Amino acid sequence: MSTKRNLAIGIILSTATAIAVLAAPTPPEPDSALQADDNAPASFTESADECAYVWAYKDAPELTAQFNTEVKNLNSKAEGSVQFFGEDCLRSDGSVTFGAMETDFYVRLPVDDISQTEEFGNFAAQVMEAVTQIPREAMEGPNYGFVEFMFEKNETERLVLRIPIQKYMDEARGKVGVELFNTFYSPP
């Protein structure tokens, strides 16, 4: 009985959806003179009618290579990577344009003991100084992002420290060790 009822409801809902889709007005064809170049950076002046915005990340291979080298110079076990964070503009024709809002840095460091906050703070201070030396024009987006450190003993024992770059420059530059660590660490 319940199988027949579920089947009947499914058929009714499918039919109603099909009717709604067929009855919906077709959007007008976009004027080709107004279409943006897919390779051009996204402009945040495009109207809401032209784009559906979706949060997105984009790898930054050149900046990652540079940053990873800097991180490995500080600790050969560490790994660094960089991503641009922003929005994808999804157009009705299927094209996508990415617009960066900030540049985010990630550092992973295997450790033997996740309670070494003095050492973590000292390492973070060195990495933050390296990040602040990167020319601003090498970073995408109007905002500074963050540097996220993952100090990892194993898959279940890890500690994450996230430092917003602008806040570091404004309030914490020059801090080291446990003082820097405690300024930004938020226990889970």
**pLDDT tens digits, one per residue of 92-147:** 999 999 999 999 999 999 999 999 999 999 999 999 999 999 999 999 999 999 99
Q: Please list, in sequence order, all residues whose beta carbon lies within 8 angstroms of the beta carbon of residue 35, skipping any fewer than 6 positions away.
A: 91, 93, 95
Domain segments of the chain as ranges: 50-184
Evaluate if residue 33 carries a pLDDT over 90: no
Evaluate if residue 91 carries a pLDDT over 60: yes
The answer to whether the CB of 100 falls within 8 A of the CB of 85 is: yes
Average of pLDDT values for 25-43?
43
What confidence category does residue 188 fall into, taking pLDDT thresholds of 50, 70 and 90?
confident
DSSP for residue 137 = G
CB atoms near residue 100 (< 10 Å): 22
User: For the chain, what percentages of helix, strand and coil (3-state, to nearest 5) are there?
Assistant: 40, 30, 30
- Provide the edge-to-edge strand list for the sheet that holds 96-110: 52-59, 79-90, 96-110, 143-152, 158-164
For residue 9, give the 3-state DSSP assignment: helix
What confidence category does residue 40 fall into, taking pLDDT thresholds of 50, 70 and 90?
very low
- Give CA separation, 142 vs 85, 117, 138, in Å: 11, 32, 12
